[in-house]
A and B are shown apart, each in its own frame.
Chain A
């Protein structure tokens, strides 16, 4: 890394006050911090602990944790595409087809990642330059999350507009990274969902049926193809005892739902990949296990209540363990709800916050067929209530300790 450091140091004078490229100094600062700070740690015999971990390192860990879900998402994009065109049939998967599917998905997803980062970082850099602040690293994770939570057929310009909207209105006007009340990536998705509902839900957008960059365009679809996600099928089902199927009409079991080879937003389908990410987040202590666990407890409990409640629709009849692995429930629980900025901060508050997210997500799924997926709305709603939960927890604690305290009269 020494040679890189030397290059950066050599370039530094040009970006300082009076240098040639002073106008771009925040860009330079951004890369400098990204690569080399903080480079000081506490001395071994010191009383305080100051290690090299700052918000940037934390963010990188989250990005690393997202990579399994992204890689699987890429493969699944290609898999669904070739399943729809009949090139892949179940059980007939070869290595050649596997890599072909992966390459197809890579090409399909790459523009989303680029658009999300270019738009979001562009705004971040502009604002930083304008306010003479350092560039905050907050968009690193957000930019990675956005491509993973949209359907693969959502037009890129919509993603660009939604990203710009979310970064400006959900983050910058609140004061930038660390001050936002709502999860920025979810605001992007919510904006897309409400502004362009036809491109964000239904059975047309979750499977790429056209080609990517001219590759494999114009092929005919196999008979009986349906691009509906499992939750979409549940929401539109006439028959309360619905059997979930994948795109070519084969049933989805619990294990199949865990494996994630069915249509859905890019990163949300495979539970194993998300689990891998969750392990990394929990081992490094970046995300709270309390939030995650309580979301699953809340969601499972609520879904079980609906199971036995006697409400006779497909969503209420879907077994509780299926609710937990379908759609964005896992992805939201692991990567969205645990966002340290927008979630509750007190330890007891995390239990309440997570539990209510689970309960609300399932309630929305079951009671409102207009929203097949409740996770996004549930997390955003609880984001708004997180400060209140914290306040209550702190007040209760203060009162408890006041009672315990004795006054010397």
Chain B
């Protein structure tokens, strides 16, 4: 099967050129809240990816039958159902992470990326494209989360996925973990840095 340019654009665009977090600046709140460590950040990224993709598919299927006036409610119901499902699965199979993420799993319902994609894409596109669009946007979100969490966990706790990375030797010679990395303020600055790097790389393309 040959992948058309449009499909490619729909799937890969959100990863960099049209990234939901660093270009559209959506979903910042949860990006700051769950990125203290890599593991919850990764789980959160996967959860959002699944929910965006699935809800995009469902809304795309229903798009011709949803009355325009109540479409937001319909979208919310679909998203809420999926979020509840994911939340229950996490509680059953990854209880620790679910506890770490606490309310932020539930708050995926209010994540701007979801409503944005449903409104902007799924309501007016086919099922397959909507699925790819959801996947792309979810992954675009997840990538940023993982990058931010990587730096925050490495510099803030000296670990990656909970494993000690910075050797004990460094601590004995006076190295100290950076407490600022544990604060949401630093996550915002890191997101800012990523945007900075991203913009400088893509400067020519924009023009």
A residues whose Cβ falls under 8 Å from a Cβ of B: 155, 157-158, 169, 191, 194-199
Contact = CB atoms under 8 A, between A and B. Distances in A.
B82 to A, nearest CB: 38
19 contacts: A155-B174, A155-B176, A157-B174, A158-B176, A169-B189, A191-B180, A194-B179, A194-B180, A194-B183, A195-B178, A195-B179, A195-B180, A195-B181, A196-B176, A196-B178, A196-B179, A197-B179, A198-B176, A199-B176
A198 B178 CA distance: 11
Contacts of B174: 155, 157
Nearest to A199: B176
B157 to A, nearest CB: 13
A199 B174 CA distance: 11
A191 B189 CA distance: 12
A356 to B, nearest CB: 22
Contacts, number: 19
Contacts of B179: 194-197
A195 B177 CA distance: 8
A188 to B, nearest CB: 12
A198 B176 CA distance: 9
Contacts of B189: 169
Contacts of A199: 176
Interface in B172-201: 174, 176, 178-181, 183, 189
A158 B174 CA distance: 10
Contacts of B176: 155, 158, 196, 198-199
Interface residues of B, number: 8
A180 to B, nearest CB: 15
B179 to A, nearest CB: 5
Nearest to B193: A169
B126 to A, nearest CB: 43
Contacts of A198: 176
A169 B186 CA distance: 11
A308 B178 CA distance: 40
B162 to A, nearest CB: 22
Among A169, A195, A196, the most chain B Cβ lie within 10 Å of the Cβ of: A195
A195 B181 CA distance: 7
Nearest to B181: A195
Given A155-B176, A195-B180, 8 more contacts: A155-B174, A157-B174, A158-B176, A191-B180, A194-B183, A196-B176, A196-B178, A199-B176
B57 to A, nearest CB: 41
A157 B181 CA distance: 17
A157 B179 CA distance: 15
A212 to B, nearest CB: 16
A194 B174 CA distance: 17
A281 B133 CA distance: 62
Contacts of A197: 179
A155 B170 CA distance: 14
Contacts of A194: 179-180, 183
Interface in B130-178: 174, 176, 178
Contacts of A169: 189
A199 B181 CA distance: 16
Contacts of B181: 195
A195 B179 CA distance: 4
Contacts of A195: 178-181
Contacts of B180: 191, 194-195
A197 B176 CA distance: 10
Contacts of A155: 174, 176
B152 to A, nearest CB: 12
A216 B179 CA distance: 32
Nearest to A194: B180
Top 10 nearest A-B pairs (CB, nearest first) are A195-B180, A195-B178, A194-B180, A195-B179, A196-B176, A155-B174, A197-B179, A194-B179, A191-B180, A169-B189
A245 B132 CA distance: 69
A155 B174 CA distance: 8
